[in-house]
């Protein structure tokens, strides 16, 4: 993958070459198209680093060089990856709605929706309960631009062919990714003799399936092309098509506009309603859903026992690396928040600042992975409010999984972000016995960690509100003996989180109900 510097250089070189060629020359047109493509890729790079203004400017330049319906749609979808404040989020959502409404009436030649190359997945991080209208506007615009998207496979209207129930389970993320970690065990656990199961990945993106025991199940690597992928899925004549996640990648989101199976469902890989009429059911762990959870989905909510994720217990390294070897400070209490930059809602800033100021000599450890630039913007937002905390804020780069798990052994307390809880990361922490402080918000995506605690029957680390969260974090940061007791309690009770098949009978009953 090209770096930001390489893309800038490529665009500049093509611009220089185009300037030497006469207007109307085919070679000049090719140079301008190439420059526009480089700028489009650069826009994505800048956006991922949290530079929204730079991303917009690069895409605007690409549009000026090579106008394109797909690029206009993508330009409308750009949102700040690291918003400055709650007010900035609300302003961005209002502006997004205005841009989408303006696009909804646009006429023009049809395109392949895959050219848009973008989704609205960031809406789920905004702490706004209802994103459905914005999603629906986006789906409408995509379908207007690519009328093939809402296609219905012939099997849907035909009598069902006999035989075992035919199930397809689809994701773009059967690679080293949270989705593969969360749901690999589910793929193994389903009964391949009772059901005809096809696991649907994509060409070049099925590496995570190679280590699974998938006896009796078929793996089909789809092409990354919407028409052919639709055709191959429809040919399976599925009774149920389950998307493990929808919203994070554009290809599966656009596939999901089509009716490719008699029943189509999604689960909590990306924990938000899809806004798609073509998705019938949202399968969710009951332990995570609020009482009014059904009102937050356009899909029919089906609550399942357990987690649906049959999650294998990670093995913490023993012994792990020292604090110094991991780049951690030698002294002081360590608060750890090992989440993606997008989960750091501005509402969380005040809590982090008050916690650090409440425990003298404490440190906050952030794990940026490959998203260093975006996490630096999160840190910059925090330090703009509390510059005195700069020596106590630490950002770690990419870590091997063994080193990542070792962080939990050194951390005194893991802090779960407001509004969007840890999922895979919380399970990894609990495998190490690490206490996580959490506040369960109003939506399922803010209640993953609280749901894990419900299964373990542990209440002390679930805060009542934001102030209680801060009080608890400060209290636990100054009472190491109590933290050790909680660590022991988690280790004693965490077996319910791992290799747990409680969801499987209920899920298989759901499959039979779909027939």
pLDDT tens column, 66-93 = 999 999 999 999 999 999 999 999 999 9
3-class secondary structure, 335: strand
For residues 288 and 222, membership in a common domain is answered with: yes
Percent of the chain with pLDDT over 90: 93
Please write the tens of the pLDDT for every residue from 288-309.
999 999 999 999 999 999 999 9
482 in the same domain as 354:
yes
Collapsed DSSP state (helix, strand, coil) of residue 311? coil
Closest Cα to residue 116, out of 59, 71, 67?
71
Considering the domain architecture, whether residues 246 and 376 belong to the same structural domain is answered as no
Predicted local confidence at residue 2, as pLDDT: 75
State pLDDT tens for residues 482-515: 999 999 999 999 999 999 999 999 999 999 998 8
With a cut of 80, say whether residue 1 has pLDDT above it.
no
Q: How far apart are CA 80 and CA 91, in angstroms?
A: 11
Q: Do 60 and 209 reside in the same domain of the chain?
A: no
Do 445 and 458 belong together in one domain? Answer: yes
Q: What percent of the chain has pLDDT over 70?
A: 100
* 102, part of any domain: no
The mean pLDDT value for 436-447 works out to: 97
pLDDT at 318: 83
Establish if 190 belongs to a structural domain: yes
Same domain, 397 and 376: yes
Q: Across residues 107-133, what is the average pLDDT?
A: 94
Biggest distance spanned by C-alpha atoms of the chain = 76
Q: Is residue 292 part of a domain?
A: yes
pTM of the model: 0.95
220 within a domain of the structure (yes/no): yes
Q: Indicate whether 308 and 179 sit together in one domain.
A: yes
Assess whether 350 and 493 both reside in one domain.
yes
Here the CATH number for the domain that contains residue 274 is 3.40.50.11380
Whether 76 is in a domain gets the answer no
Asked if 375 and 472 sit in the same domain, the reply is yes
What is the domain count for the chain?
A: 3
Q: What is the mean pLDDT of the chain?
A: 96
Average pLDDT over residues 389-402: 95
Residue 401: predicted pLDDT: 92
**Assigned domain for 258 exists:** yes
Tens digit of each residue's pLDDT (9 = 90 or more) over 129-187: 799 999 999 999 999 999 999 999 998 888 888 899 999 999 999 999 999 999 999 99
One domain, residues 236 and 333: no
- What sign results for the dihedral spanned by CA atoms 267, 273, 275, 277? positive
Same-domain status, 345 and 492: yes
Domain boundary (67, 93, 115) is at 67
Residue numbers of the domain that contains 243: 154-312+500-513
Cβ atoms < 10 Å from Cβ of 133: 12
């Amino acid at each position: 993958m090209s770096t930001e510097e390489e893309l800038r250089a490529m665009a500049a070189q093509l611009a220089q070459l185009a300037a030497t060629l006469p207007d109307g020359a085919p070679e000049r047109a090719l140079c301008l198209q190439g420059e526009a493509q480089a700028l489009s890729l650069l826009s994505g790079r800048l956006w991922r680093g949290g530079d929204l203004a730079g991303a917009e400017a690069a895409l605007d330049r690409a549009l000026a060089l090579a106008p394109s319906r797909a690029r206009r749609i993508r330009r409308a979808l750009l949102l700040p990856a690291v918003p400055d404040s709650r007010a900035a989020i609300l302003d961005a959502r209002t502006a997004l709605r205005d841009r989408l409404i303006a696009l909804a009436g646009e006429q023009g030649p049809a395109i392949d929706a895959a050219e848009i190359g973008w989704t609205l997945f960031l809406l789920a991080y905004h702490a706004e309960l209802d994103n459905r209208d914005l999603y629906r506007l986006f789906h409408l615009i995509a379908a207007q631009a690519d009328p093939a998207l809402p296609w219905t496979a012939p099997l849907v209207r035909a009598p069902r062919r006999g035989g075992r129930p035919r199930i397809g389970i689809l994701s773009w993320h059967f690679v080293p990714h949270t989705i593969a970690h969360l749901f690999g065990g589910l793929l193994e656990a389903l009964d391949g003799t009772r059901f005809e199961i096809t696991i649907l990945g994509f060409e070049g993106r099925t590496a995570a399936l190679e280590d699974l025991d998938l006896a009796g199940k078929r793996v089909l690597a789809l092409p990354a092309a919407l028409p052919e992928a639709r055709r191959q899925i429809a040919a399976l004549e599925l009774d149920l098509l389950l998307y493990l996640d929808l919203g994070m990648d554009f290809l599966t989101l656009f596939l999901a506009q089509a009716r490719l199976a008699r029943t189509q469902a999604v689960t909590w890989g990306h924990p938000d309603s899809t806004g798609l009429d073509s998705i019938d059911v949202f399968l969710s762990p009951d332990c995570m859903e609020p009482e009014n959870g059904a009102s937050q989905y356009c899909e029919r909510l089906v609550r399942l026992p357990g987690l649906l994720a049959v999650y294998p217990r990670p093995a913490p390294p023993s012994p792990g690396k020292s604090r110094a070897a991991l780049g951690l400070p030698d002294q002081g209490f360590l608060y750890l928040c090992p989440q993606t930059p997008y989960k750091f809602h501005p509402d969380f800033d005040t809590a982090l600042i008050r916690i650090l100021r409440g425990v003298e000599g404490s440190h906050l450890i952030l794990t940026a992975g490959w998203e260093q630039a975006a996490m630096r913007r999160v840190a910059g937002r925090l330090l703009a409010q509390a510059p005195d905390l700069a020596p106590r804020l630490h950002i770690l780069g990419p870590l091997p999984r063994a080193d990542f798990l070792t962080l939990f052994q050194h951390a005194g307390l893991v802090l779960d972000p407001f509004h969007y809880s840890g999922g895979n990361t919380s399970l990894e922490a609990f495998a190490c016995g690490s206490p996580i402080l959490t506040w369960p918000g109003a939506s399922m995506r803010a209640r993953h960690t609280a749901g894990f605690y419900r299964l373990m029957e542990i209440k002390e680390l679930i805060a009542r509100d934001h102030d209680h969260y801060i009080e608890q974090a400060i209290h636990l940061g100054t009472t190491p003996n109590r933290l050790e007791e909680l660590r022991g309690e988690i280790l004693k009770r965490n077996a319910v989180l791992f290799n747990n098949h409680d969801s499987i009978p209920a899920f298989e009953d759901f499959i039979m109900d779909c027939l």
